A and B are shown apart, each in its own frame.
Chain A
Amino acid sequence: MSNTISWQESPVKKRLEAHLPGEIPILPMRRYVSVVILREFDSTAVLTTEGQTLDVEMVRSGRKYSEPISRVLLQKRKQIAPERRAGRAFNRDRGLGKKCVFLNGMCGKCPDCLIYGFAATSGEGAHRSRVLTDSGFAIRPYEAMQRSITLNAIDDSTKGGVSGSAFAEREHIRPQVFFPTIETAVDVTPAEFLYVLRNILTTTRYGAESNRQGFVNNHVVALLFGHGELISNLSLTQGVYDRLREKGGERFHEFPLERSEVEKAVMDVLEEEAKRSYLPVDVCAGEELAAFLAGVRDLWRNEEANAEWLQELESDQQAYLAKLK
């Protein structure tokens, strides 16, 4: 068996090349790749505003079911900020963007600035983000979620081992809050897309850096290649709600959700939406996605292939910066 893994020859790159531009365009070309992510939170601590109350919004429950419900909210800035942080730490390890300060004085030249956008704090110049996101909405209503969390805690404590104190309860609850979210990269090269994907897959903590809680599992459910955006987070969540409620009955939200059930509902919504779309959408999911992600893992674990990818990322961006001059 051959051990040679190369970025240039990899099926990962071939899959991306079929849809994404070979060079970064000056003007929008509208080549979209969406990463559909089911974000699973093990704690709701991170979802609070100013560390106290949960951030909640009243929206229509489903697309079919129209009564309004309160949903816990994952604001878009709370999704992107930690992922950018992961990318910037990775860049610094490679000696890149050392002069680029996120809070003020962005360099405008590193992968972070060029992909996620920047606005100069001194002088002029701004780059639009090529990564688009939306606020995420929890599937279940806030009140029912709270109720099931309490029920779970009681369950755990009656099974023994856990004292009934409020503190212990909090330590042992597993809220399993799911946010179906989509992150869309527009007009990125294959190497740039892998950078965005790396940030998504390696970020496990959302919220303030000092916060010990907020562990998140980002489950990638599908990649969508196309010429536009298929669906918004809100609409996706509402579609998932409809399906789970149809299956589980009116009180489905009083019980913890199974990840596999949620993933299946997400796929159903995406497929239905893809069927309705006037423009072609190429959906990479299931076994094909598993193979794609395994290929990505091989690349990152292989020193040469990893270096090859990063070299291409750099040359893509250098070529773009030269065009801007």
Chain B
Amino acid sequence: MKRFAYRIRIELEDYLFFASMEKGKVAETAPLIHNYALAYALSWAISPYYQEKQAPGYEKQLKPLNEEGVYIFPASPLEVTHRLMQYNTTSEPLWMMRPQSLGYPNWGFIKCLRPGSRFETYALSHNPLSFPPRIRLGKWMSQARLEVEEVALERGTGKSSPIMVNVQDLPRLPATFTSMYNLLPTRLVKEAEWGEAVEGYRIKKMEGQQVEEEFLPESAFWWR
């Protein structure tokens, strides 16, 4: 049961890169931020400095957060611009932070997000939360600034949600959605709709002078 809701704005202060898609010689960064990445960036979940295996233990590290009653949704873009950068693994092997043996070509392009790009998301919690003013994201541990505002929330049901949600974290699969991102390790969808009403929360936020209401479906890390 969540009692507090926070609207979070994220602004990049450096180039952000994570490989979400590869098209030929271009490794692309999707214009959104995965909620698991946010949970780590906020230090809600922690992983050791040394990892024996490259695969991170998401389920094991994230599930304890459900008992703490905290959740954060994936962040949607408000304003995003890209930049193409060339890389060469022979002179800058650590830039990709991924060994060549995993199939990266020796050289190619990275499509990253530019500083100034902005995102928005929501966090829900049973207890009041405080947030760090800045976090680090992506393969290059790029800095981003947070602006957090508490918003009113009410328990309720709804048939659709305008925000980006993580399919892995939902108790019930949506019937339709407008866009889907296959962002490892899970799928994220936007503007999901369900056949019948699902449990969740209505939040009230100020949009300029107007109060707007949004429905956020009940979610928990690695629910499915």
Q: Which residues of A contact B (CB under 8 A)?
A: 25-28, 30, 49-50, 57, 59-60, 76-77, 81, 102-104, 116-122, 124-130, 132, 134-135, 187, 228-229, 232-235, 277-278, 324
Set of chain A residues within 8 Å of B130, measured between Cβ atoms:
278
> Does A76 contact B50, Cβ atoms closer than 8 Å?
no
> Does B46 contact A28, Cβ atoms closer than 8 Å?
yes
Within 8 A of A (CB), among B6-60: 13-15, 43, 46-54
Q: How many residues of B contact A (CB 8 A)?
A: 39
Q: Interface on chain A toward B: helix, strand, loop, or mixed SS? A: loop
> Does A76 contact B101, Cβ atoms closer than 8 Å?
no
> Does B51 contact A125, Cβ atoms closer than 8 Å?
yes
Q: Does B105 contact A (CB under 8 A)?
A: no
* Known A-B contacts A49-B86, A102-B93; A60 and B116 likewise in contact (beta carbons under 8 Å): yes
Q: Does B141 contact A (CB under 8 A)?
A: yes
What are the interface flags for B108-134 relative to A under an 8 Å C-beta threshold, 1 for contact and 0 otherwise?
000000111000000000000010111
> Does A130 contact B49, Cβ atoms closer than 8 Å?
yes
* Known A-B contacts A59-B115, A127-B50; A234 and B93 likewise in contact (beta carbons under 8 Å): no
* Complex Cα spacing A291 to B130, Å: 37
Q: Does B175 contact A (CB under 8 A)?
A: no
Give 3 nearest A-B pairs by CB, closest first: A232-B13, A232-B143, A234-B13
What are the interface flags for B65-92 relative to A under an 8 Å C-beta threshold, 1 for contact and 0 otherwise?
0000000000000000001001000111
> Does B92 contact A81, Cβ atoms closer than 8 Å?
yes
Q: Does B202 contact A (CB under 8 A)?
A: no
8 Å CB contact of A120 from B99, B115, B134, B145: B99
A228 nearest CB neighbor, chain B only = B132
Q: Does B142 contact A (CB under 8 A)?
A: yes
* Complex Cα spacing A117 to B46, Å: 17
Set of chain B residues within 8 Å of A124, measured between Cβ atoms:
52-54
Set of chain B residues within 8 Å of A25, measured between Cβ atoms:
49
* Complex Cα spacing A235 to B54, Å: 33
A124 nearest CB neighbor, chain B only = B53
* Complex Cα spacing A81 to B87, Å: 14
8 Å CB contact of A135 from B15, B47, B51, B93: B15
Tell me the minimal C-beta distance from B206 to chain A in angstroms.
22
Set of chain A residues within 8 Å of B133, measured between Cβ atoms:
228, 277-278
* Known A-B contacts A49-B86, A60-B116; A228 and B50 likewise in contact (beta carbons under 8 Å): no
Set of chain B residues within 8 Å of A135, measured between Cβ atoms:
14-15, 115
* Complex Cα spacing A121 to B104, Å: 12
Set of chain A residues within 8 Å of B132, measured between Cβ atoms:
228
Q: Does B100 contact A (CB under 8 A)?
A: yes
Set of chain A residues within 8 Å of B211, measured between Cβ atoms:
none
> Does A103 contact B93, Cβ atoms closer than 8 Å?
yes
Set of chain A residues within 8 Å of B142, measured between Cβ atoms:
134
Tell me the minimal C-beta distance from B64 to chain A in angstroms.
14
* Known A-B contacts A26-B49, A76-B140; A232 and B94 likewise in contact (beta carbons under 8 Å): no
